[in-house]
Each structure stands twice: as C-alpha cells, then as structure tokens.
Amino acid sequence: MNSLLKNLKIMFIMFQIYLILNTERNVYSMRNLMSPLDFSVAELDALMDTASDIIANPDKYSHACDGKILATLFYEPSTRTRLSFEAAMLRLGGKTLGFHSADSSSATKGETVADTIRVVSSFADICAMRHPKEGAPLVAAEKSSIPVINAGDGGHHHPTQTLTDLMTIRSLKGKFDNLTIGMCGDLKFGRTVHSLISALVRYTNIKFVFISPKELKLPEYIKEHLDSLDNVEYKEVSKLEDVIGSLDILYMTRVQRERFFNEEDYVRLKDFYILDKAKMALAKNDMLVLHPLPRVNEISSEIDDDPRAGYFRQVRYGMFIRMALILKLLDITV
C-alpha cells in the first residue's frame, strides 16, 4: 500500500512538472503580431491560402475555436477592426470579451497596459489591442502570456489592416509584383499606409506614387528605407489628376482629425482630395480603388458602384484574414 502511494505521489509530481514545462514551452514559442514584417512572405502566403479556404469552406472552420476566447482591448474608437475580430472569432466557434474605449476600462483609474494584459491573460486565450500610443501593444506583448495582436498603435502600424489589404490585392488583382500603387491623402500620420508600404517592398518591381499635400508627406524615415532598396521606385506629387492614369491600385486615406494638433490645419486639409467620377474617368479600366475606411469626403459615394471600387469588398476580406490569423496564433490546424 505504501509503495502504491509512493508511486502515485511520484506520478503526480511528474505530471505537475510536465504541466509546468508544457506551459513554459507554449509561452516561449508563442507568436504575436506587431508589424506585418513579423511574418515572412511564405507565412503571409499561407495565411492568405487559409483565408481563401475559409471563404470556400466556412463550415469546415465553424468549430475550430470552440472553447477559446478573444479579448478586444480597444483604447481608441473602431468599427471595422474590432467588429471584424469579433465576427472572426464568433465564426470560428469561439467567444469574445473586451472594452471598446479607454473610458470604459480601468485605464481611467490609472491602470497600465502592462497590468491590464496580465489580468486579461487570465481570462482570454488571445487578444487584439488598439491604442493611441505607438508601441503600447508591444509593451503588452512583453508582459502577456497569450498572443497579442496590434490592432493599430497611434501613427505607427496597423498590421491586420495590411493583411486585409494584401488579401484584397491578391484576390482582386491576382498578384503583388510589377504594380504601380498610388497612396493618396494623409501619408504622414496614416499607419495603414506605413504598414502596407513595409509589406509591399518585399515584392518585385514595385512602384509607389505618394500623393499628398506637403504638410502630410510620408515621414523621412520611411523614404530613407525605400531609398536603400533596389526593387522599389517612388515619386511624390500633390495632384491626383496628374498621376491617376498610371496607377494599378489607388489607396485612398482619410485626413485624420484625431492626429492633428489644431483644428484650423485639419479644416484646411480635410478636403484636399476628393475622388469622384471625373477623376475616375482618367484612370485605367482595371485600376483598383482601396481605402481602409472610414471615409469622410475623400471618396465620393457616386463611385461606390464603379466596379473598380474595392473598399467594401476589402472590409469582408479583413474578416476572413483575421480568422486565419487567429488560427495561426492559437496554433490551430483544421
């Protein structure tokens, strides 16, 4: 009897050691998504393949995340990103929890992002975080025991918007190489633009045309990076009409009121570009118009029914690529 108890005790201790080692291994091999460059081109291709398979076979994935919980920690407003993350998890059979503004969280009482993520790690299996401060999701990732996804940090990066944009370009243009891509609007603060440029430069023979008023030009550090690359050409212009005819893709962006220090500058620049039927008449027949949305005035609703307008299809691709991302970061194979 004594030896049976002794053996049981040893087995119990060994089981505890196995659990500890297994948990540690999971934490150390855990992936986060802070920037589009966190994934190789091959990994991005695989992610888009999964998203395409989800589109073709939704039922196959409808219980993939049974029992899993996604936390959405949004310290800044969002419609698409937060709801598409939630829709993605729900369509995978999982559940969601979270907050949609800093005001409705204990951030108002002074709780740090580092403490918040430690707490949320006890409740959820994966987390998407949006924050007005650059680097906040990275601080969270360093303290987290669950995968953290950067859902937009200040004017820095928005990697899941980039995954959305890549998925849309692949689905609607069929390629990434040999494209001339115009980026128009707020290129200074536009995190979607910064993230997308960093992802696209990994493809062959990319030409960028940066279209902005002088106050909202692309930051110097990004142009310096582009200058160091052999496979990328770029030019900067201020008039959309002068270049629209040369573009394969036109990526429009909103002038972001929330990033301006004074209202006067915002009012002066907010309607600098308005894409309308007259300008679309100058574009190629197969030019694709993308926009991360929300739009304000920069795309007239009169072109929403133009077959070249891809921005609402883009939103839907965003949900499918986020489903693929959740599966990847949770290490779930279907």
Q: Under the rule (CB under 6 A), what is the footprint of ligand CP?
A: 78-81, 152, 161, 292-294
Closest CA to 222 of 189, 244, 247: 189
Closest separation in Å from C-beta 79 to ligand CP: 4
Closest separation in Å from C-beta 224 to ligand CP: 26
Burial class (CB in 10 A: 0-12, 13-18, 19+), 237: middle
Active site residue 6: no
Residue 215 contacts residue 269 (beta carbons within 8 Å): yes
Residue 133 contacts residue 154 (beta carbons within 8 Å): yes
| Identity of the residue, 254 or 328, whose beta carbon is nearer to ligand CP in the bound complex | 254
Active site residue 31: no
Closest separation in Å from C-beta 323 to ligand CP: 16
| Identity of the residue, 80 or 313, whose beta carbon is nearer to ligand CP in the bound complex | 80
Q: How many residues does the chain have?
A: 334
| Identity of the residue, 76 or 125, whose beta carbon is nearer to ligand CP in the bound complex | 76
| Identity of the residue, 137 or 292, whose beta carbon is nearer to ligand CP in the bound complex | 292
Active site residue 81: yes
Phi, psi of 44, deg, nearest 5: -65, -40
**Which one is catalytic: 82, 158, 170, 291?**
158
**Which one is catalytic: 80, 259, 279, 313?**
80
Active site residue 170: no
Q: Count the alpha carbons within 13 Å of 277 in the hemisphere toward its beta carbon.
A: 6
| Identity of the residue, 36 or 180, whose beta carbon is nearer to ligand CP in the bound complex | 36
Calpha distance 111→113 (Å, rounded): 7
Active site residue 130: yes
**Which one is catalytic: 50, 72, 81, 162?**
81
Closest separation in Å from C-beta 292 to ligand CP: 4
Residue 75 contacts residue 130 (beta carbons within 8 Å): yes
**Which one is catalytic: 130, 157, 270, 291?**
130
Closest separation in Å from C-beta 55 to ligand CP: 20
| Identity of the residue, 161 or 212, whose beta carbon is nearer to ligand CP in the bound complex | 161
Helix 80-91 / helix 159-173 crossing angle, nearest 10 deg: 70
Catalytic residue numbers read 80-81, 109, 130, 158
